[in-house]
Amino acid sequence: MESSQGLGALAARKQRAVIALYIYLAATAVFCLGEILELAGVIDMNALQLSTLTTIFAFLYVAQLPVVIGCIVIVAMWIHRAHASLLEAGHSDLEFTPGWAVGWYFIPIANLFKPFQAMKELWNTSFGLTNDFGGEAPFDLKVWWGCWIVGNIANWQSA
Amino acid sequence: MSLDSDLGAYQISLILGAIGSVLSIFGAYYLIGIIREITAAQEQGLGLEEVFA
């Protein structure tokens, strides 16, 4: 794919990723509201006889799964395209290939730090910065990754 | 005693779930910004490089 075509595809995938993430934000906010209502005793997921409100939240919880899976696929497609665009623009000295920039998310243990390194490389190369090992990462990336790791651990512990 | 500890564990799991959800919301919000900024940087930087090459 030519560089201009790649950038066009990247813009289209950005649009889809942003929409998917906003849907994910809404679904997660509903999930959070459900947990707060459950803590307050307004709804009870363990009751034998579910109330109308509890049934609505039960359906919303189930509906969150395809939203999460869809969001992962769409954001992964953007990450792959963004890395591929760098290669097409002549950046041949990259540590991460487009495939592995996505693939590392699915490798246990390595997924705690490798995806962050890949995103840092993507950010630094896109902005024309040096991507030295151990170099300072942008603030946005650190906040995103910190929230991602701690949030996932909290969600995993609560399951 | 056992029922009390079960209820306590259940509440802790709900609290952890709520904390995880809030962090996921923040993470997704920042990821939206990252995606927008990287795409814009590539469109400007890589696109112009190609035009001026």
The pTM for the full model equals 0.86
Cβ separation B34–A140 shorter than 8 A: yes
Write the DSSP assignment of A35-49 as a string of letters: HHHHHTTS--TT-SS
**What ipTM goes with this model?**
0.89
Q: Specify the range with the lowest mean pLDDT, choosing from A9-23, A39-53, A100-114, B38-52.
A: B38-52
Nearest chain A residue (CA) to B13: A158
Interface probe with B: pick from A141, A143, A149, A152, most Cβ of B within 10 Å: A143
Note the pLDDT tens digit of each residue in A130-155. 766 666 778 999 999 999 999 999 98
Residue B21 touches chain A, beta carbons under 8 Å: yes
B contacts of A17 (beta carbons < 8 Å): 35
Q: Which residues contact A114 (CB under 8 A, 6 or more apart)?
A: A104, A107
